[in-house]
Amino acid sequence: MNEPIINEIEAGNIISKSNLPVGEFCANPYTGCTHACKYCYASFMKRFTGHTEPWGTFIDVKHWKEIKNPGKYKGKELFIGSVTDPYNPQEEIFERTRALLTQLKDSGVKLTISTKSDLILRDLDLIKSFPDVRVSWSINTLDEGFCEDMDDAVSIKRRLAAMKEFYQAGIRTACFISPIFPGITDVKAIIQQAKSQCNLIWLENLNLRGSYKTVIMDYILEKYPQLLPLYREIYHHKNRIYWETLDSELKAYAAQIGLDYVTNDDSMTRDFNAPPVIVNYFYHEQIRKNSRSGKSGCAENS
């Protein structure tokens, strides 16, 4: 990958309202993301930035006035990383996510942080100081080759190792199996790998719309031509039978291995040492509604 285009910008409020199921508020210390995921739904954000460069090749580093009265967020849920990865490679230099966490320390806010990186280990002690916090890693394959085809983030092995370290430190962790690629993502294998080192397993299906739909369909044609009829059925003809069948299979599988399978995340109320709960977001219409509008600054598959 070529060197990304990096701009430092002055931002208004770093925290905004959200309607996503994992937070009343969201915060994104960067605009854009150099992980350059081919399926990144957050690419819709480009139209609000003035950037003409391809998504994944630029990143805007946000600077904001220090948060006034962070205590007003006490008891509120804040999702960090809805349309960017807050631990993208540039965070190691600019430390904007660390600055946000430092400003919110002792505020009593309930944090959810989503990443594909193990750079977050740098802030483990700081994150641990928050009273209610969840950290999720996006893992949609155990195949490192497919992973490298899809994004420029760290390896699956490193993501799982970071998840384990956070879990062992007593921080609630989530394995975000997203996006699930039909016929490619082995959901059961990922659950088996992660279930001993997380409190929560989120499931989200691959949604194809906008400019990256062609990118993914071309990739399937080139690398998985035998799956092309299935992808056309799902993404051209809007047939949901695949997801309905997978939903039923995973519900039965969860029962078989003794895990709860639900559609609402109540992980914060569960005993930390209880087995992880699997949450299915295949049919979460609210996510699709908000991500289309862009108003909440929050999105899926990011």
> What's the average model confidence in pLDDT over 135-148?
98
CA distance 287 to 283: 9
Residue type, 20: L
pLDDT of 50 reads 77
Backbone dihedral region for residue 81 (phi beyond 0: left; psi -120 to 50: alpha; all else: beta): left
CA distance 163 to 120: 10
Share of the chain above pLDDT 90, in %: 77
pLDDT of 292 reads 37
- Residue listed under structure tokens 């509008």: 293
Kindly compute the dihedral angle of the four CA atoms of residues 108, 97, 114, 167, in this order, to the nearest 10 degrees: -70
* Widest distance between CA atoms in the chain: 56
pTM above 0.85, yes or no: yes
pLDDT of 29 reads 98
pLDDT of 269 reads 76
Q: Indicate if the pLDDT at residue 290 is higher than 90.
A: no
CB-based contact 139:118 (threshold 8 Å)? no
Q: Indicate if the pLDDT at residue 101 is higher than 80.
A: yes
Is the domain defined by 5-293 classed in CATH 1.10.287? no
> What's the average model confidence in pLDDT over 126-133?
95
